[in-house]
Structure 1
Amino acid sequence: MFYHLTRSGPEEVLALILPRALAAGWRVMLRSPDATRRDRLDAKLWLEPEDGFLPHGVEGGPFDAEQPVLIGQGAAANAAQGVVLLDGADPLPGEEGCERLWVLFDGGDETAVQAARGLWTKVTGLGMAAQYWSEETGRWEMKTEKKPAG
């Protein structure tokens, strides 16, 4: 699922995605190459949702494998069923088998837009399903969908 961010930041989108993924019983990996982003996400998840923190950990701890949400830049040590890619992070081998792969990219950053387009082409070229979501109207709408081959 490709999320073209034009009004919301990644934190707002994650506030929608993560509770749903956890309610489905999934573990999630949040991957970003940006250390500042990872620190900001860690702090934000301690404060959201309003009724308490969202259970998570930061990569490199002794309990990585047990974390419902793991923030880092490496492989999903928590056996995640969902992976969120931020700041140009790439999917890793084997993640095509995940239940869900979310790509969040900044619509105001042409480099990020081009990288997302390249990843879309790669994913759909492998015959995988993909959806493109945009918030340009003020609410999230699916703009296009590529069904899996076969």
Structure 2
Amino acid sequence: MTEVLFYHLRGVTVESVLPSLLEKSLQRGWRVVVQATTEERADALDSHLWTFRDDSFLPHATWRVADAAQQPILLVVDDGNPNGAKIRFLIDGAGLPPDSASYERLVLVFNGDDDEAVAQARAAWTASKAQGFEVIYRQMDETGRWQQRQ
């Protein structure tokens, strides 16, 4: 069954949390798709993932590369899954893909300080429940650790 995780950000950015979530996904042996809503945003993330930390390397590319199907992490702006990912991160209001049930896990990362983002997350929660997916809500605590909330 597909799990849909909702990561509620407050006072932190996608750029500050996404790399560690991607690292954990790779440690599990999963291929990953990260869906942004614009090409500019995907390009900015592409640059960020190369430079976010000096002692880390996240192998990734955008959908534009010829070997997209072989990439462990692929940044996209549409609903496709060119690398056969098991996990899909949805950022900046990217919606649930039509093939949601084909993933082991979908992760919606949203800005809790943005009313529109919260409304979109709530709608995705309702849609996920309606499809019979297991939904999980996580929020960062004051120590920077993710806590599952009800």
Is TM (by shorter chain) over 0.5?
yes
* Structure with greater contact order relative to length (CA < 8 Å, sep ≥ 6): 2
From 89, 102, 117, the counterpart of 2:107:
102
Residue equivalent to 2:59:
55
Residue equivalent to 1:93:
98
Q: Which whole-Å CA distance do the structure 2 matches of 1:8 and 1:100 have between them?
A: 23
Q: Which whole-Å CA distance do the structure 2 matches of 1:8 and 1:120 have between them?
A: 22
AA paired with 1:63?
D
Q: How many residues align?
A: 144
Identity of aligned residues (%): 35
Q: Which whole-Å CA distance do the structure 2 matches of 1:107 and 1:66 have between them?
A: 34
Q: Which runs of 5+ in 2 are unaligned?
A: none
Q: TM-score, normalised by structure 2?
A: 0.89
Residue equivalent to 1:31:
35
Residue equivalent to 2:6:
2
Q: Which whole-Å CA distance do the structure 2 matches of 1:3 and 1:86 have between them?
A: 10
Residue equivalent to 2:148:
142
State yes or no: 1:68 paired with 2:61: no
Residue equivalent to 2:122:
117
Q: Which whole-Å CA distance do the structure 2 matches of 1:13 and 1:96 have between them?
A: 25
From 85, 88, 110, the counterpart of 1:83:
88
Q: Which whole-Å CA distance do the structure 2 matches of 1:68 and 1:90 have between them?
A: 22
AA paired with 1:141?
Q
Contact 1:15/1:49 (8 A) holds in 2: no
Q: Kindly report the root-mean-square deviation, in angstroms, between the aligned alpha carbons of the 2 structures.
A: 1.4
Question: Secondary structure at 1:92's aligned position in 2?
Answer: coil
Q: TM-score, normalised by structure 1?
A: 0.89
